[in-house]
Structure formats: C-alpha cells, structure tokens
Chain A
C-alpha cells in the first residue's frame, strides 16, 4: 500500500458499528495533547488498542524498539521530528503499517509533499467518524488478504 491519496469526498459512508475491531492497534503521533486525546478516544471507540507519541522521533523510536502498529496517524507539523521526516524514516526502516497523515487546511502543496514521504492517505484534522470507518475498512481488507 503506498501513495494512494483519498479525499473525504470519495469515501463510502460506512456505519461505525460495522467496523468495530478488537484486534487492531494504532499509534497517534501529534504534538498537541488535545489532538492526541481526541484521536485516542475516537479510535478506542472502534475497539482499537491505542498508543500515543508526542512527535515523530518518539514514534520512530517505538518502531526501533520493536513495536508495531496496524495504523499510524501522523501529524505533519511537530517539533523535534516532523511528520514528513518520521514517515520517510519509517518507510526506510521497512515499516508497512498504514500511515495516515493528518494536516491542517493550508497550502495546496501541503498534502502532496506529505504523501510523497510515504503516506497511504492524507486527511485534514481532526478525523471524522466517516474517515475513521473508511480507514478501518481498508485495514480489515488489507489484513484479510494476508
């Protein structure tokens, strides 16, 4: 899975109840405690086991230590190591998790540059229930193929 950008307008509306999954793990990488809490609770509502990291370096270090996650929500602008650098490093390490960039609604090139770092998808923050449902559907499809 690489570089498949998707806009929220192309999503199928899937009920959240259809995708509750107790086997998936997620890492929320964001320097904002508010966004970490928001995405943490949101993903837990769908049955995921969630860890959080406050910047890209913490996220990369987790993978270096042997952690693995099905889904990584990666903020773009963070201190110490930003989302672009962290994504590049994770892909260079051979990480095949679904990495989803979350950005603010800013310049036109912002999402494109982030996608090129190795994201699977990129969405504006905060993620909506419809987007999370879509991501979980994609994860389930991917896991069923393995």
Chain B
C-alpha cells in the first residue's frame, strides 16, 4: 500500500472510531496536546490508560469473587476507571462505568457482574482499535510520511 493510501486509511479509520462512538472529542483534545516537544504524548497517555484499566478490571474481578463484597471499594475503583476512560475519550467504556457505579451504589451483585463483563468487552475492543491505529500511524511514519490531522 502506498503512502497516500495509508494516510487515507488512517483518516477513515479514525473517523469510524468517532462515528461508532468508541472515541469522543476528548481524544481530539489529547491529539492537540502532542507536538514536537511531546511527540509521543498520545501513546504515553493511552498506555497509562491501558495499565490503569487492566489493573482496575483485575481488582474488580477479584472483588466480585469474594464472599463479602466491598461495594464501596469497588465503587471507588469504577470511579477511577471512569475518570481515566473519560480523560482519553474512551466514550463507551466511560458510559458503562456510569451504569456500573449505579449498581455498586445499589449493592446489586448481578448488575455488577454483568457490567464488569460489558466493560471488559468494550475495553478489549477499544484497546485493539487504538493499537491498530497506532500501528497504522507508525507505518506512515516509517514510509516517510506525516500523520494527517
């Protein structure tokens, strides 16, 4: 695939992520903060989001396996996940976290279990999509091109 095609593919891919609700304008804000002084800023922030999310999802899974569930602690963890997903524009994950917090507040175990599965699913999707997008960007840079805005 030549450079122009790669760049077009990236633009189309990015547009689809917004159109399908995976990303919101906060991701655009992130991209606007990247410049020659911070050339890897978006990748750094998104990597922190991946680390945060995986840790929190792991903790939430363990919490829901306990005999006595600490809903207050879980609520705090979902709150953190909501904050970090909102900060990078991971729209679907953020929205699910709002529902998840309601179930924590209601101490509804079934609701929490269902939400956790949904959040894990959506997180998996956005992680794959963002990694694909970064790979495409790298291909463009390796071909000597620039990333289209």
Within the complex, which residue of B33, B38, B45 is in contact with A34, where a contact is CB–CB below 8 Å?
B45
B contact residues around A125 at 8 Å (CB): 83, 86-87
**8 A/B residue pairs, CB under 8 Å, sorted by A:** A32-B52, A32-B80, A34-B48, A34-B87, A34-B88, A38-B30, A41-B38, A45-B33
Find out whether the CB atom of B33 lies under 8 angstroms from the CB atom of A104: no
The interface size of chain B toward A, counting residues with CB under 8 Å, comes to: 22
B residues engaging A (CB < 8 A)? 26, 29-30, 32-33, 35, 38, 41, 44-45, 48-49, 52, 76, 79-80, 82-84, 86-88
Find out whether the CB atom of A104 lies under 8 angstroms from the CB atom of B45: no
Closest CB of chain A to B114's CB: distance in Å?
22
Find out whether the CB atom of B45 lies under 8 angstroms from the CB atom of A77: no
Find out whether the CB atom of B41 lies under 8 angstroms from the CB atom of A41: yes
Closest CB of chain A to B83's CB: distance in Å?
6
A residues engaging B (CB < 8 A)? 31-35, 37-38, 41-42, 45, 77, 104, 106, 125-126, 128-129
- A35's nearest neighbour on chain B, judged by CB, is B87
B contact residues around A104 at 8 Å (CB): 79, 82-83, 86
Find out whether the CB atom of B33 lies under 8 angstroms from the CB atom of A126: no
Closest CB of chain B to A91's CB: distance in Å?
25
B contact residues around A129 at 8 Å (CB): 29, 32
B contact residues around A126 at 8 Å (CB): 26, 29, 86-87
B contact residues around A45 at 8 Å (CB): 33, 35
Find out whether the CB atom of A128 lies under 8 angstroms from the CB atom of B29: yes
B contact residues around A41 at 8 Å (CB): 33, 38, 41
Find out whether the CB atom of A33 lies under 8 angstroms from the CB atom of B33: no
Closest CB of chain B to A65's CB: distance in Å?
28
B contact residues around A77 at 8 Å (CB): 76, 79
A contact residues around B38 at 8 Å (CB): 41
- In the bound assembly, the distance between CA atoms of A35 and B49 in angstroms comes to 10
Closest CB of chain B to A47's CB: distance in Å?
12
- B80's nearest neighbour on chain A, judged by CB, is A32
Interface centre among A31, A34, A35, A38 (most CB of B within 10 A): A34
Closest CB of chain B to A54's CB: distance in Å?
13
- In the bound assembly, the distance between CA atoms of A41 and B42 in angstroms comes to 11
B contact residues around A38 at 8 Å (CB): 30, 33, 45, 87
- In the bound assembly, the distance between CA atoms of A106 and B30 in angstroms comes to 23
- In the bound assembly, the distance between CA atoms of A42 and B33 in angstroms comes to 7
